[in-house]
Amino acid sequence: MPPSRLRAFALAFVLGALAACGFAPLELWPLALLCFAGLIALVARAGSGRRAAGIGWWFGLGHFCLGLNWIATSFTYQAAMPAWLGWLAVVLLSLYLALFPGLATGLAYWLGGKDRNRPALIPLLAACWIVSEYLRATLFTGFAWNPLAAIWVPIAPLPQIARVTGTYGLSGLTICVAGLLWQAWRAPVARMALTVLILAGVVASLLAPGPAMPDAKAPLLHVVQPNIGQDQKWSETAAADNYRRLASLSGMPGPRPRLVLWPEVAVPALLQDDALARLRLAALLGPHDVMLTGAEAFQYLPDGTIVAATNSLFGLDAQGRLLGRYDKAHLVPYGEYLPMRPLLSAIGVSRLAPGDIDFKAGPGPRDIMVPGVGKVGIQICYEIIFSGHVIDRANRPRFLFNPSNDAWFGRWGPPQHLAQARLRAAEEAMPIVRSTPTGISAVIDSRGRLIASLPWRTAGSIEVPLPAAAAPSLFARFGNILPLTLALLLGAIGFAWRRQSR
């Protein structure tokens, strides 16, 4: 490999790793923009489509290896496999995910024609980046974690642009901003445009209102975070103490009806089959309270043989009656089911979640009708990261509940998960409530702003009125047609600039 190419790939790898610092938990978004500007500069000088694709791939490899470091932590809770296998999993996953940035940069270079130092490269790369993020979220069950748009979550009101563009469209616009940084040193027009954007962003942030005061008559949410670590969650000796923590944090019933929200698989009992377990939970509720809690469920053959499990969410009233059930639809490969089980089991690879029975996927977004509240949409754990796939659009709920278990994802995973939930709230104009065993539990308003949250590794509860949902956003009506249309528009602009430069 020629030294110039090696230097370009090495620099791309470093830029990609630094760009990961722009996401939660570090949130150094200016650094991320500078790194993406550096990526565009490297692509512009690549010299061939293959080298441009290589630059994007090395950038993605550095980016995902650092940004997804939390995946390695999950292997420390799995006794059947060595902990070092977690870091191997991070690298192998990153090797695959880096193909998508490589696709974007290689395709943008090829579409840019001969004069690639012209501004045409910017909209072309933005268009290709939108398509590549959409494909990353879709192919082979998809892994939509940390779209570029997530760097804007801390900066109100920028995430609300996703109400029109969707998350992937906002990622494309972020590439355009990085492209202006690349052009700013050589083009007065780019410097002027960048200055206007910065001033507009500062003014918008200063003028952005805080979360609206909740309606005092709105249903009362009671979100529980018991701080039960992954090493305690499935321990039989810790089961009684785990239940006491959940029960004590559920508060005392009062005159006002409450919606008590527990995390993903908060109880080990099979609520669909165990009436006594349901009555035990119902004893924690007031006469008009309702509980939503995660639990597993089994599917049986007529002879009673268990054939599959589901990761489910159950609604329960004060009489112990089940009000509804949601089965997780977007399952985690290697976490909730083991692909190619006969082969991988033979070489010692096991599922990260305990148990030998694979989970079965549910039918997709569904609502549970809760008395006194109305329709509640459910997205269990990482289902919330899939833009455009979190709501049953024919039955828009009053809010989304996202019970999760981030207890095995270290320090970086939980804040990244929260940031993506805030993006969903902003683009869908829908409040989202998260309850997790170890944090970060939160109540998020329909603009993606935090109304209340509990820190990581802290036991506690949140009790606030339910925030109001806004009118359906443009994205809520049309979904990912919007970012893909934006990609076509940006591509057309790029081709127009390319023709003009000729």
What interhelical angle do 99-111 and 29-44 show, nearest 10? 50
CB of 337 closer than 8 Å to CB of 310: no
Q: Comparing C-alpha atoms, which of 316, 347, 341, 314 is closest to residue 328?
A: 314
Place of tokens 């990961």: 20
Place of tokens 């809760």: 370
Hey, how many other C-beta atoms are within 10 angstroms of the C-beta on 464? Answer: 15
In eight-state DSSP terms, residue 472 is: P
Hey, how many other C-beta atoms are within 10 angstroms of the C-beta on 252? Answer: 7
In eight-state DSSP terms, residue 333 is: B
Q: In what order do the strands lie in the sheet with 374-378?
A: 367-370, 374-378, 399-403, 432-435, 442-444, 450-453
Torsions phi, psi of 144, nearest 5? -90, 15
Q: In what order do the strands lie in the sheet with 322-327?
A: 322-327, 306-317, 290-300, 258-261, 220-225, 460-465
**How distant, in Å, are the alpha carbons of 77, 333, 334 from that of 352?**
8, 9, 6
**How distant, in Å, are the alpha carbons of 128, 341, 400, 425, 429 from that of 470?**
31, 45, 13, 10, 5
Phi-psi region of 405 (alpha: psi -120 to 50; beta: other; left: phi over 0): beta
Q: Comparing C-alpha atoms, which of 358, 352, 356, 361 is closest to residue 326?
A: 361
**How distant, in Å, are the alpha carbons of 36, 120, 174, 194, 195 from that of 181?**
9, 14, 11, 7, 10
Residue 286, class by beta-carbon neighbours within 10 Å (0-12 exposed, 13-18 middle, 19+ buried)?
middle
Hey, how many other C-beta atoms are within 10 angstroms of the C-beta on 122? Answer: 26
Structure tokens of 494? 């790029």
Measured between alpha carbons, how far is 139 from 276 in angstroms, rounded to an integer?
Answer: 43
Annotated active-site positions, please? 264, 328, 381
How many alpha carbons fall within 13 Å on the CB side of residue 231?
6
Structure tokens of 85? 């296998």
**Dihedral (CA of 55, 56, 57, 62) sign:** positive
